[in-house]
Amino acid sequence: DFDIVALGEPLVELNQTSQDQRQYLQGFGGDTSNAVIAAARQGARCAYLTRVGDDAFGAQFLALWRDEGVDTSGVEVDATAHTGLYFVQHGPDGHAFSYLRRGSAASLMTPASLDGGLIERARFLHVSGISLAISTSACDTVFAAIARARAAGVQVSLDSNLRLRLWPLDRARAVLREALCHADLFLPSMDDMQHLTGNDDPERTLDWIRDAGATGVVVLKLGKDGSIIDDGKTRTPVAALRVDAVDATGAGDCFAGSLLARRCQGDDWADAVRYANVAAALSTLGYGAVDPLPRAEQVLAKLRG
């Protein structure tokens, strides 16, 4: 059985690492894949549900997940479509993504992709705004996964991960509102919520989320200012670890995966969020979404120090 089963799209990553702007380091990304690898590095038993192309990149991903101890029995290989790809570019305002993913294998997932029964064997199902955005059939698949999880008593975790390159704001708002009502854990970032609600005040943002129908735990991520846990009764701020970030790609995914892993290991919400804040900070110290994801020993050493 699994602690966490995640559903979404892996993307091969080409990350700009040089000053002349023309050298790219190949790595791996895809928010839910990042999250499940981060969770596995914290000791969680994980599986990933997706579809990759029958190409060199799909094969690299399958090898990566196996190396990381992530179960791949729910990964479909599609001979008719490619594995998605994105570029990360760095500038004065942080990082930006360019996607080459339309028509990708993962975007062709359907609810039948869930028939292997992995979700029913998990403690958490983890999905995101990106899983919902990539295509209508992927969106249907996410809602079908949520329904299966709820029917089986599996907790649903949803990261907002709003990517406005993938869908219009109005649709994103409507779909995320619908999805967050079914989440036992909702993980929005303040940046995403600012787009969705038009306000930049954390308290009012949490009010908006409750008014939208969230009944589970909400952890609002404030970047370098840490996060706020709202369990429906009280709101608890948790400070972040300050670091000199090199590349924040995947930091939120590291946060999600680490938080879920620590919940499965018995942490209360405050301890799990404290741990996840440190893990996420450490994940920004190198280039790429996956390579710099810390392991449990590193996070624990930092927490103790």
| Catalytic positions | 253
Q: Which of 74, 188, 226, 252 binds ligand KDG (CB under 6 A)?
A: 252
Measured from the CB atom, is 42 or 104 closer to ligand KDG?
104
- Rounded to whole angstroms, the Cα distance separating 4 from 45 reads 7
Note whether 34 binds ligand KDG by CB under 6 A. Answer: yes
Looking up tokens 């990517």, which residue turns up?
A: 163
Q: In what order do the strands lie in the sheet with 11-16?
A: 24-29, 11-16, 84-91, 94-100
Site string for ligand KDG, 120-149 (x = CB under 6 A): ----------x-------------------
Note whether 192 binds ligand KDG by CB under 6 A. Answer: no
Q: Which range, of 119-127, 186-194, 230-238, 244-252, touches ligand KDG by CB under 6 A?
A: 244-252
Note whether 282 binds ligand KDG by CB under 6 A. Answer: no
Q: Which of 253, 274, 278, 293 binds ligand KDG (CB under 6 A)?
A: 253
Measured from the CB atom, is 93 or 211 closer to ligand KDG?
93
* Contact call for residues 201 and 183 (beta carbons, < 8 A): no
- Rounded to whole angstroms, the Cα distance separating 61 from 10 reads 8
Report the nearest approach of ligand KDG to the CB of residue 58 (Å).
16
Measured from the CB atom, is 140 or 191 closer to ligand KDG?
191
- Residues 6 or more apart whose CB falls under 8 angstroms from that of 265 comprise 42, 43, 44
- Rounded to whole angstroms, the Cα distance separating 183 from 130 reads 15
Which residues of this protein are in contact with ligand KDG, per CB under 6 A?
Answer: 11, 29-31, 34, 86, 97, 130, 163, 249-250, 252-253, 289
